[in-house]
Chains A and B, each alone.
Chain A
Amino acid sequence: MLFNSYTFIFCFLPVALIGYFTLNHFNKITLGKWWLALASLYFYSYWSVKNLPLFLISLTVNYFIGHYLHMGIRKKQTLFRLGLVFNIGILCFFKYSGLVGLAQFALPLGLSFYTLQQVGFLIDSYEGLAEEKSFIDYAVFVSFFPQLISGPIVHYQHLMPQILKNDNKHFRVDQFSVGLFVFSIGLVKKVLISEAFSSWAKPGFDEAMTLDLLAAWKTSLSYTFQLYFDFSGYTDMAIGLGHMFNVKLQQNFNSPFRSKSVIEFWTRWHMTLSQFISTYIFTPIVRAMPKINFRNTMIATFIAMFIAGVWHGAGWTFVVYGALHGLALVVNHLRKKKKKKFPGWVSWLLTFNFVNVTFVIFRAKDMSDAIKVLRGMIGLDGVVVPKIGISSVGFLKDYGFEVGSYLYPNDYLMIAMFVAVFWSIHKAKNSIELEKEFKPSVKLACACGAAFVLCIFGMNRITEFIYFNF
């Protein structure tokens, strides 16, 4: 089920909330947790029930492995390794079987996310951090529907104490209103902004044979913003829903396009994935090295970033994407070590454009598709200048430019959106900053209500979130 659908907003969510808080109100705490878990399973299997068996197997097997790890059995290490093989095996089977000539199966919804979350849980259990827990508590942790399909990736120690806390068992108007506020921001990002950019990015990637300079930049920038508003919109909705259940989920985006280095970018973009990779992949690789020095940590940085890239999928595009970001991090660390710095605006420009170019590779169906857009971006397939207003730009033909058609109203809308987005990157507060300053008022309620209604009308074309594919 999608957050941006009528069924979710008007049926599922009210029923889930009312059922949960009513059971808690009558002190049926365990029943309340079962309600939450079953509602989440219903949410998960609403589209297609065939994903459910694998999810339930993964959940049950990991619960029992965690349970025996906690009991401190004799062959703890063997069991732990089996657990890792089980999880990573399933993930690789569905993601990469096509690569080795086996049949390619459709990726079960949310597999990458619920697998990472449970791998984190197993490592914590193995290292003695997780306490003994009941099956239903574990089931709520893995299935909690706001974060089930695309994160934010949460830890048991972060999520469950909030759900189990007595003060959080009852409906709280303050939490519900801040939740609704953040959910509305996410809905606007997805329905109004991301969908518009999507309509400008798609033709360039999927239909055009070649792209001239302006069309290529329009395509690549549109996709960069589509991806950001899609994924951060999804995350805002997840965080908003969390608040409604009195749970504060972790921040996943912190104005990433303000970054002045690639290192900084990865502390602001998909933050819970970066933290996961840094904690559970980068650190063990470094620890396994004979010596912790600059060279070895750089090798570990590259490997960890590469894994983060191919975690998204099996294609060459993700291999190149991961490798490029890995290399960029290494170069960035080298320059930092030598205390070399560009002026602030140059750093920003380089970082933004690097990210924009790598997102072209990330989005493209294959490398030749990516090259088509990248060629266009450096003007190898010509430059077409639009006729602007009534003045003729015909003289440009003498300089090898082609003159295209007049701009349509849609083009003006696009230009206005680009200006607004670039302005907001640097000047506007992000959703988490707005959430911190949230004070309910009539004015704000009207603004949110108006935005909400606009989105509701815009939801007739329901589209999936990009990260459902990973």
Chain B
Amino acid sequence: MTNEEILKNITVFIHDVLEAPDLNVTPETSAADVDEWDSMTHIQLISAIEKSYKIRFALGELQTLKNVGDMVNLIQKKLNN
């Protein structure tokens, strides 16, 4: 799966969880830019991604995510393992 495909997939999750269907999601988008993206929606998003890709993030990994691009890279890394 390419990074573009992952980005496309998680954009759907982000729109759904944040209830913001018009949000423009790029690799640079970060939680700080989006009002609806807080600790609560973040955990829902993480959980949706984990279920969909059948992966599990380590707690320490969650803290290193600075933006959507980081998230895409981490999913890619997990899928390759």
Contact = CB atoms under 8 A, between A and B. Distances in A.
A123 B64 contact: no
Given A263-B38, A282-B39, A301-B39, A120 B44 contact: no
Nearest to A126: B58
Given A157-B64, A279-B63, A292-B44, A127 B58 contact: yes
A267 B38 CA distance: 9
Interface string A126-153: 0111000000000000000000000000
Interface string B46-81: 110000000000111111100000000000000000
Contact of A120 (B47, B60, B62, B64): B60
B1 interface: no
A297 interface: yes
17 contacts: A123-B60, A124-B59, A124-B60, A127-B59, A128-B58, A129-B61, A263-B39, A278-B39, A279-B60, A279-B62, A282-B39, A292-B43, A292-B44, A297-B43, A301-B39, A333-B40, A336-B36
B43 A123 contact: no
Interface in A291-323: 292, 294, 297-298, 301
Contact of A283 (B32, B38, B62): B62
Given A129-B58, A282-B39, A292 B63 contact: no
B44 A123 contact: no
A129 B40 contact: no
Nearest to B62: A279
Interface in A85-134: 120, 123-124, 127-129
Contacts of A292: 43-44, 47
Contact of B60 (A127, A263, A284, A336): A127
Given A123-B60, A267-B38, 11 more contacts: A120-B60, A129-B58, A263-B39, A275-B63, A278-B39, A280-B59, A282-B43, A283-B62, A292-B44, A298-B40, A336-B36
Contacts, number: 52
Interface of B, helix, strand, loop or mixed by DSSP? helix
Contacts of A297: 40, 43-44
Interface of A is mostly: helix
Contacts of A325: none
B15 to A, nearest CB: 16
Contacts of A120: 60
Interface in A248-283: 263, 267, 275, 278-280, 282-283
Nearest to B46: A283
Contacts of A278: 39
A203 to B, nearest CB: 39
B19 to A, nearest CB: 9
Contacts of A123: 59-60
Contacts of B44: 292, 297
A336 B43 CA distance: 16
A128 B61 CA distance: 10
A301 B39 CA distance: 9
Contacts of A287: 47
